[in-house]
Amino acid sequence: MRMLGRLGVLWLVAASAVFGVPGAVRCGKLLDVRAGKLLENQTILFDDSGTITAVGANLALPAGVAPIDLSHSTCLPGLIDVHTHLTSDPSDTGYEGLGVSVPREAIKGAKNAAKTLHAGFTTVRNVGAGNFTDVAVRDGINAGDIPGPRMLVSGPPLGITGGHCDNNLLPYEFHYREAGVADGPWAARTKVREVVKYGADVIKVCASGGVLSKGDQPGTPQYTEEELKAIADEAHKLGRKVAAHAHGTQSIKDAIRAGIDSIEHSSLIDDEGIALAKEHGTYLVFDIYNDDYILAEGAKEGMLAESIEKEKKLGRLQRENFRKAFQAGAKMAFGTDAGVYPHGDNAKQFSKMVEWGMRPIDAIQAATINAADLIGWKEKVGALEAGHYADIVAVNGDPLADVKVLEAPVFVMKGGVVARNEAAR
Ligand SMILES: [Zn+2]
C-alpha cells in the first residue's frame, strides 16, 4: 500500500506537468514593476508548463487558445512575502499554542496557504515553523494535494537556550526545548546541517530577543557574532541563505557583519547599522503593519501582557527606522510576519510602507523584484516577463495611485492555473 501510494503521487506530479495547457491572459493595463510604468492592452502568453513565453500588445494567439479577459483590470506579478508563518495563527503565540499538536499545525498551514494564495501572494518565504510542518505544507502544495503559494521554508528556527526561538512558557519540570535550539558555533553548524537534511530551503536564526516570547527583551543580543558567523558560513556552504530575526541594534550589526542575507524586523537599527547593510548588500525586512494588529487584538488573541508592552515600546521606533533606512537607500524586501496577524491580510502592509515614506512603486518593488532577488528566484518570480512563471495578480484601479487596491485582488493565477477570478467583464 505504501509503495502504491508513493507511485500515485509521482504519477500525479508527472501528469500535471504533461497535461498543463498553454494559455493567455489579456490585461487592460499591466504594471511593469521594473520601470514603474503602466502599459496598455497587454497580452501574456504562457506554455503548458505554466511559464510565460511572451508579453506585449497585439500578440498573435496560438491556435486553440482562448484568452482570459482581464481587460477592465490592472495586472501585476504575483506578490511575494518574505516573512510568513503559514503554520500558525495569532492565537498560537501565548499559552493556547501549547495545545496545538504537530499534525494540527500542519493542517493550519494548509488552511493558511490557500488564504495567502487567494490574497495574491503567489510566493512566500516561511521563516520559522514548529518542527518541519512548513516542509509538509510546501511538499503538499508542490505535489498538487492542496492549493497554496510557492514556498521556501526554514523548518524550526535556530536559537539559543531560553531565547526568542526557544519556548519558555512551561516550567523546568517539563524539560521542554524547541527543535531549533543550538548553543555554540559547532552545535549551530550541526543544527544547520540537520534542518537542511529535513528539507529547509533557507535558514532562520533568532539573533536577538523578541516581542512574542517570554522573559527576553527585543533589544538584547542572543547569539554571539561568532555563532552567527558559523551559521552563515555553514548555510552558504550548503547553498542556503540565512534570515536573521534581529530587533536589537547590536544584533542587527552582528548579523550583517556575520554575512547573513536579510535582517528581519530591523526595529532598532541605527545609522551605523544602515550603513553596514548598504555596504554588505544585506536586505532589511521591516514588518511594519502588524504593530496595529498586536496592539488592537493581541490581548484577545491570548498574547502575553509582556509581549504587548514590548510592542508598545518598539512599534513606532521600527516605523521611524524603516523611513530612515529607506531614505538612506538600503535594500528592502516586503515581509510581514503573517501568522502574528491573520493570514490573507498581507497586503495591508503596503499602505503602511507608503505612509512611512515609500512611493507605491517602491513598496510594490519590495514585494516583487526585490523580494525575488533576496530569495534567489529573480529569474522565475517577481516580474511578468518571458521565462518567468505565469504568476499573475489583477486588481481594479491603479496601484500606483492607490496602493490599497492590492488588498482586494480580483484575479490570481499561479503557474498558469487560475486560483481566483472575479474580474469584471
Ligand atoms: Zn516571524
- Mean pLDDT rounded to a whole number for the chain: 94
pLDDT in tens, 68-86: 999 999 999 999 999 999 9
Grid cell in block for residue 370? 526585490
- Average of per-residue pLDDT across 103-110: 98
At 130 the three-state DSSP class reads coil
Q: What is the pLDDT of residues 124-180, one digit of tens each?
A: 999 999 999 999 999 999 999 999 999 999 999 999 999 999 989 999 999 999 999
Could you list the active site residues?
A: 204, 337
CA of 335 to the centre of ligand 1 (A): 9
* Rounded distance from Cα 65 to ligand 1 centre (Å): 42
Q: What's the average model confidence in pLDDT over 325-343?
A: 98
Please tell me the predicted confidence (pLDDT) of residue 6.
40
CA of 412 to the centre of ligand 1 (A): 25
| Residue 406 reports pLDDT greater than 80 | yes
Burial 297-314 (b: 16+ CB within 10 A, else e): ebeebebbeebeebbeeb
pLDDT in tens, 361-399: 999 999 999 999 999 999 999 999 999 999 999 999 999
Residues β-bridged to residue 81: 124
**238: three-class secondary structure by DSSP:** coil
SS3 label, residue 187: helix
Residue 81 contacts residue 334 (beta carbons within 8 Å): yes
